[in-house]
């Protein structure tokens, strides 16, 4: 246990340079574009030269870029994320109201996707080349190859037709509504993950069931249950974990699209409008947030790896 | 079953369904193993050695395999024919009455399960031992087969052990439930020569101590001479000659056995070409109507093409399946 705490601590410290490098890159890449930040803050129409000069002064837009970066970084470290160019609202407040939707989508869809992928993948492998396997594989192939935005639109069309007077999209006022709003998009995202992870589980399980050590387990006279779960499954789950890590990362990006389709007040929608409107402080913070979620997800996967596979050691 | 036999295989055929068609891997094997003996099976690759012995434990994919004939076995609960047994009945025998050691110990053990646990698991499942008793017994087995220090090795995973050590783990595992019959499928082939000798010595010692009957599969005649009491020579899915080690090595009656013995390099052979058997063993996509060895045989006549040779019993231990065994022995 102490080993794990030490390892996780080490990994968290190792994240700091990654965060610094990425924040630096993002900051300067954004500044490469020709957007006039003062005009964005005032609003294109009202931007007179006089107003612009005042805003430039107030926001320190005329300082050298490097100094602006370190000013921004200082702010972030003490929890001051800067102000939204559009509304003047504090960015910390702005995104904290939007985190639940995105985090909810990522976590619920990943958990659902992984769980059902493993269940269906194992069932498929145990019924290899039989109708049940073919059926499961076909469904998975469908969700693997059809983009989730198309599925989303189809599902929305069907649901609104059959359950009229029920709103599947938009904002929420309480926790019950929150769950209602994110359940459909979370399931759609889960289907997409399930398709990939399920196929990996199936092929991994199939190859493990044919491994020589399974013949040994059989010769030892163990029950089918022990052979399948204690021996084959434990080995089969290792590559699934690897792909799950990547799949979780994809899910973070996937929220951008799905939040747009379902008009959910999440990080994704905010990011799109911030990029389009040249609202750089918001873009910077959101990218950093997504990066942190990604890093934490991969840390969890790496730790799980050590738990599952004795050949992998904490270093 | 005959008194003193532990295993009698009669007219065993094993057909394997593959994507390329049916393989008649075993075409009427007859083989007897006496209680307490080490019985060697020798032959080229693809002659049905492994397939026929795996059939004794029904280790083939049941949906794609057809068995005919009889495999009579003297189990701890009395005489049974293994061929008609179902999965559940078979599980009673596997691991407890019959155990098996495989060629490649590196892949034959679960890579992510502790070596000791792989034995303890079997002891719990087959003998119903408690967790602590199973561990105690597994540690005893480790000491018996020379995996030392046992306590430390018990906790190790296969990737932390050498090939020779892993084969010792396999042997400890196979013998942990004191089986009546041990099948060793080329257990030394994947090991280097010095380790090979150690493992052979170990199997011999343990066999002497426990009086377990052993079927030892190999393609190395030197190994046969070293540890076996009797030998069956297989060719193209059939046993073509059986006898004691002395009978096979000194009085071989089948041209194939003779050719095999002659192609074994001997000391002092330097400077001469090694003798070989030209051609290759036949593929087993069809059942043979003539002698399958005829195309490679120096003694072959028209009779050999037309009829499958019957097994001729020469004495209580020696039998041969050849039309011309008398000519081979130089009696005609």
**Residue A292 falls inside a structural domain:** no
β-strand pairing of B78-81 with B98-101 = unpaired
**Residue A217 falls inside a structural domain:** yes
**CB pairs A-B closer than 8 Å:** 73
State the average pLDDT over residues A56-62.
81
Provide the shortest C-alpha distance from residue B119 to chain A (in Å). 9
Examine the fold and report which residue of A96, A120, A137 is the final residue of a domain before the chain moves on.
A96
State the average pLDDT over residues B245-249.
94
CB B105 within 8 A of CB B170: yes
Supply the pLDDT for residue B139: 96
Instruction: Return the structure tokens found at A133.
Output: 């396997």
User: What would the pLDDT profile of A236-288 be if each residue is shown by its tens digit?
Assistant: 999 999 899 888 888 888 888 888 888 888 888 889 888 888 888 899 999 99
Chain B residues in contact with A232 (beta carbon < 8 A):
none
Chain B residues in contact with A311 (beta carbon < 8 A):
111-112, 157, 159
**Residue of A210, A213, A234 to mutate, interface with B, max B Cβ within 10 Å:** A213
**Residue A289 falls inside a structural domain:** no
- Predicted confidence (pLDDT) at residue A41 exceeds the cutoff of 90: no
Interface of A with B in 21-50 (CB under 8 A): none
Q: Quick one: what percent of chain A has pLDDT higher than 90?
A: 37
- CB B95 to CB A220 under 8 A? yes
Nearest CA in chain B to A232: B110
Provide the shortest C-alpha distance from residue B285 to chain A (in Å). 23
User: What would the pLDDT profile of B117-141 be if each residue is shown by its tens digit?
Assistant: 999 999 999 999 999 999 999 999 9
Average pLDDT of the residues of chain B: 92
Examine the fold and report which residue of A64, A96, A128 is the final residue of a domain before the chain moves on.
A96
**Which of B108, B121, B157 comes nearest A310 by C-beta?**
B157
**Residue A91 falls inside a structural domain:** yes
Whether A103 and A233 map to the same domain: the answer is yes
Whether A152 and A13 map to the same domain: the answer is no
Supply the pLDDT for residue A117: 95
Whether A171 and A260 map to the same domain: the answer is yes
CB B207 within 8 A of CB B38: yes
Alpha-helix residue ranges (DSSP H) falling in chain A = 2-32, 37-42, 49-59, 65-77, 91-96, 99-126, 131-145, 148-162, 175-209, 212-219, 224-225, 234-261, 267-277, 280-308
Instruction: Return the structure tokens found at A101.
Output: 């939707």
Supply the pLDDT for residue A165: 66
Supply the pLDDT for residue B330: 81
Supply the pLDDT for residue B329: 85
DSSP label at residue A83: B
Whether A34 and A77 map to the same domain: the answer is yes
**Which of A226, A234, A310 comes nearest B125 by C-beta?**
A226
Chain B residues in contact with A226 (beta carbon < 8 A):
121, 125
Whether A164 and A182 map to the same domain: the answer is yes
Task: Give the 3-state secondary structure of residue B121.
Answer: helix
Whether A138 and A22 map to the same domain: the answer is no
Rounded distance between C-alpha atoms, residue B332 and residue B326, angstroms: 6
**Residue A208 falls inside a structural domain:** yes
Burial of B172 (0-12, 13-18, 19+ CB in 10 A): buried
**Residue of A219, A222, A238, A310 to mutate, interface with B, max B Cβ within 10 Å:** A219
The total number of structural domains that make up chain A: 2
User: What would the pLDDT profile of B83-101 be if each residue is shown by its tens digit?
Assistant: 999 999 999 999 999 999 9
Whether A178 and A85 map to the same domain: the answer is no
Q: What are the CA-CA distances from residue B184 to residues A290, B67, B105, B123 (Å)?
A: 57, 21, 12, 20
Whether A136 and A224 map to the same domain: the answer is yes
B interface with A, Cβ–Cβ < 8 A, is 57, 59, 87, 91-96, 99-100, 102, 104, 107-114, 121-122, 125-126, 157, 159, 170, 173
Examine the fold and report which residue of A43, A63, A96 is the final residue of a domain before the chain moves on.
A96
**Which of A213, A217, A218 comes nearest B107 by C-beta?**
A213
The distance from CA A213 to its chain's CA centroid, rounded to whole angstroms, is 37
**Residue A281 falls inside a structural domain:** no
**Residue A286 falls inside a structural domain:** no
**Residue A87 falls inside a structural domain:** yes
Residue A206: give its domain's CATH number: 1.10.3720.10
Whether A252 and A109 map to the same domain: the answer is yes
The interface predicted TM-score (ipTM) is 0.90
Residue from A67, A64, A87 nearest A75 by CA: A67
Supply the pLDDT for residue A89: 84
A222 in contact with B, Cβ within 8 Å: yes
- CB B59 to CB A223 under 8 A? no
What residue has token string 């959101």? A286
Chain A residues in contact with B102 (beta carbon < 8 A):
212, 215-216
Nearest CA in chain A to B108: A213
Quote the pTM value. 0.84
Question: Which residues span the domain enclosing A44?
Answer: 2-96
Supply the pLDDT for residue A305: 87
- Predicted confidence (pLDDT) at residue A168 exceeds the cutoff of 70: no
Chain A residues in contact with B110 (beta carbon < 8 A):
213, 216-217, 231, 235
Whether A123 and A69 map to the same domain: the answer is no
CB A91 within 8 A of CB A282: yes
Whether A54 and A155 map to the same domain: the answer is no
Whether A28 and A127 map to the same domain: the answer is no
- CB B95 to CB A222 under 8 A? yes
**Which of B91, B94, B107 comes nearest A212 by C-beta?**
B107
A225 in contact with B, Cβ within 8 Å: no
Instruction: Return the structure tokens found at A158.
Output: 């069907």
**Which of A219, A234, A309 comes nearest B95 by C-beta?**
A219
């Amino acid at each position: 246990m102490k080993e794990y705490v030490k390892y996780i601590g080490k990994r968290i410290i190792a994240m700091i340079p990654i965060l610094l490098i990425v924040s630096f890159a993002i900051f300067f890449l954004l500044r490469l574009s020709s957007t006039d930040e003062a005009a964005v803050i005032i609003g294109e129409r009202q931007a007179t030269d006089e107003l612009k000069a005042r805003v430039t002064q107030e926001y320190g837009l005329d300082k050298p870029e490097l100094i602006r970066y370190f000013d921004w970084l200082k702010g972030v470290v003490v929890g001051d994320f800067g102000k939204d160019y559009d509304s003047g609202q504090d960015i910390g407040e702005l995104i904290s109201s939007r985190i639940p939707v995105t985090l909810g989508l990522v976590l619920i869809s990943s958990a659902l996707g992984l769980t059902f992928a493993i269940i269906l993948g194992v069932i498929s492998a145990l019924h290899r080349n039989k109708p049940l396997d073919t059926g499961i594989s076909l469904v998975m192939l469908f969700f693997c190859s059809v983009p989730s935005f198309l599925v989303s639109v189809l599902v929305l069309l069907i649901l609104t037709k059959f359950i009229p007077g029920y709103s599947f999209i938009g904002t929420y006022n309480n926790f019950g509504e929150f769950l209602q709003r994110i359940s459909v998009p979370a399931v759609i995202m889960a289907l997409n993950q399930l398709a990939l992870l399920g196929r990996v589980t199936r092929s991994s399980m199939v190859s493990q069931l044919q491994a020589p050590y399974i013949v040994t387990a059989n010769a030892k006279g163990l029950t089918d249950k022990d052979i399948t779960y204690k021996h084959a499954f434990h080995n089969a789950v290792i590559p699934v974990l690897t792909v799950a890590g990547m799949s979780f990362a994809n899910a973070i990006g996937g929220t951008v699209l799905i939040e747009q389709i379902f008009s959910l007040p999440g990080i994704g929608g905010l990011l799109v409008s911030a990029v389009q409107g040249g609202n750089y402080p918001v873009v910077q913070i959101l990218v950093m947030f997504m990066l942190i979620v990604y890093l934490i997800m991969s840390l969890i996967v790496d730790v799980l790896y050590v738990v599952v596979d004795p050949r992998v050691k904490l270093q | 079953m005959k008194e003193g036999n532990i295993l009698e295989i009669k007219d065993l055929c094993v057909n394997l369904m593959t994507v390329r068609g049916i393989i008649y891997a075993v075409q009427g094997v007859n083989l007897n193993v006496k209680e307490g003996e080490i019985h060697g099976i020798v032959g080229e690759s693809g002659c049905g050695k492994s397939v026929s012995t795996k059939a004794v434990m029904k280790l083939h994919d049941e949906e794609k395999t057809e068995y005919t004939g009889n495999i009579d076995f003297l189990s701890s609960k009395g005489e049974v024919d293994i061929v008609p047994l179902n999965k559940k009945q078979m599980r009673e025998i596997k691991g407890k009455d019959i155990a098996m050691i495989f060629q490649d110990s590196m892949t034959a053990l679960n890579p992510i399960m502790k070596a000791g646990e792989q034995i303890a698991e079997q002891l719990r499942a087959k003998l119903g031992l408690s967790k602590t008793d199973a561990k105690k017994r597994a540690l005893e087995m480790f000491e018996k087969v020379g995996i030392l220090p046992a306590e430390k090795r018990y906790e190790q995973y296969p990737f932390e052990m050498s090939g020779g050590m892993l084969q010792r783990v396999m042997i400890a595992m196979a013998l942990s439930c004191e089986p009546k019959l041990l099948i060793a499928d080329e257990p030394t082939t994947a090991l280097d020569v010095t380790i090979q000798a150690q493992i052979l010595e170990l199997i011999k010692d343990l066999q002497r101590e426990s009086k377990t009957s052993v079927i030892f599969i190999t393609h190395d005649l030197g190994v046969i001479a070293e540890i076996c009491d009797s030998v069956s020579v297989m060719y193209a899915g059939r046993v073509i000659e059986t006898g004691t080690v002395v009978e096979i090595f000194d009085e071989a009656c089948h041209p194939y056995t003779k050719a095999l013995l002659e192609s074994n390099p001997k000391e002092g052979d330097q400077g001469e070409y090694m003798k070989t058997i030209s051609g290759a063993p036949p593929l087993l996509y069809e059942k043979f109507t003539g002698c399958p060895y005829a195309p490679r045989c120096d003694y072959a006549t028209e009779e050999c093409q037309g009829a499958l040779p019957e097994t001729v019993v020469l004495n209580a231990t020696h039998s041969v399946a050849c039309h011309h065994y008398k000519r081979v022995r130089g009696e005609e």
